[in-house]
Amino acid sequence: MTRAFGLIVVGDEILSGKRLDKHMPKVIELLAARGLQLGWAEYVGDVPTRITAALTRAFASGDIVFSTGGIGATPDDHTRQCAAKALRRSLVLHPEAEVLIRERMQDTAREQGVAYEPDRPDNVHRLNMGVFPEGAEIIRNPYNKIPGFSVDHVHFVPGFPVMAWPMIESVLDSRYAELFSQGQSSEKSVIVFGAMEATLTPLMEAIEATHAGVKVFSLPSVDHPEYGRHIELGVKGAPALLDAAYAQLIAGLHTFNARLGPELVR
């Protein structure tokens, strides 16, 4: 698989710390359950120029991207408009989205025990939530029917986790099932005591040069509660590629007389 999975999280509330981002850990979990992994993530506030720039990059990347937040119809929601600008397309009321939004308004009126008034100004305004870039496809929202939308391989969902996460799952399962397990990756690593990263760098470079598709990683720690000062040194990639790369790693560490601790497999 040459395309990566990307995530864009939109919202001032994330950058200010008013709310903690829960989307990235959940997207990582949803992808991992399908043998996939997140390739990149980007956070952007409610600034139209920055959102447009982020979406322009997403559309140009060819990656499979999920964008959360900013698709409502309040003054601080800009994602729909920015997507249209990035695509250089017009914004239009999606006919299926209109039907779903009107159904939601009728449901709400029944729940409140009042008559549904389609021409009431606030109800007319709510239809803006179904105004998407021309050519968009809807993403159904099982929570309250207000849809998200997709353009090519960029998918837009609300910022509310209770809505966003089932919508992301539905997109993965309906559109990308053929990719499941293609991006599956494993890790093998070892705890190394008494060594410096700079000293180990030539070994790491040699392993990556020898084993195409394998990445070497180094995670130093100075105050680990169990191991104290150490480096977790390992390889990651497709499971079939790891044994030979890991054997080279261990053999190389022995030449440095490094003191090795537990081995880890993920």
Residues 140-197: pLDDT tens digits? 999 999 999 999 999 999 999 999 999 999 999 999 999 997 756 788 999 999 888 8
Please, what's the largest Cα pairwise distance for the chain? 80
Which tokens go with 84?
A: 């249209």
Query: How far is Cα 141 from Cα 132, in angstroms, rounded to an integer?
Result: 15
Q: Output the pTM of the full model.
A: 0.82
CB-CB neighbours of 239 under 10 Å? 12
| pLDDT interval class at 107 (50, 70, 90) | very high
Residue 31 is predicted with a pLDDT of 95
Q: Which of 47-51, 220-224, 230-234 has the lowest mean pLDDT?
A: 220-224
Please name each of the domains of the chain with its CATH number.
Answer: 5-179 (3.40.980.10), 186-265 (3.30.70.260)
In the block, tokens 């939530």 appear at: 129
Query: Which residues have a Cβ under 8 Å from the Cβ of 103 and sit 6 or more positions away?
Result: 145
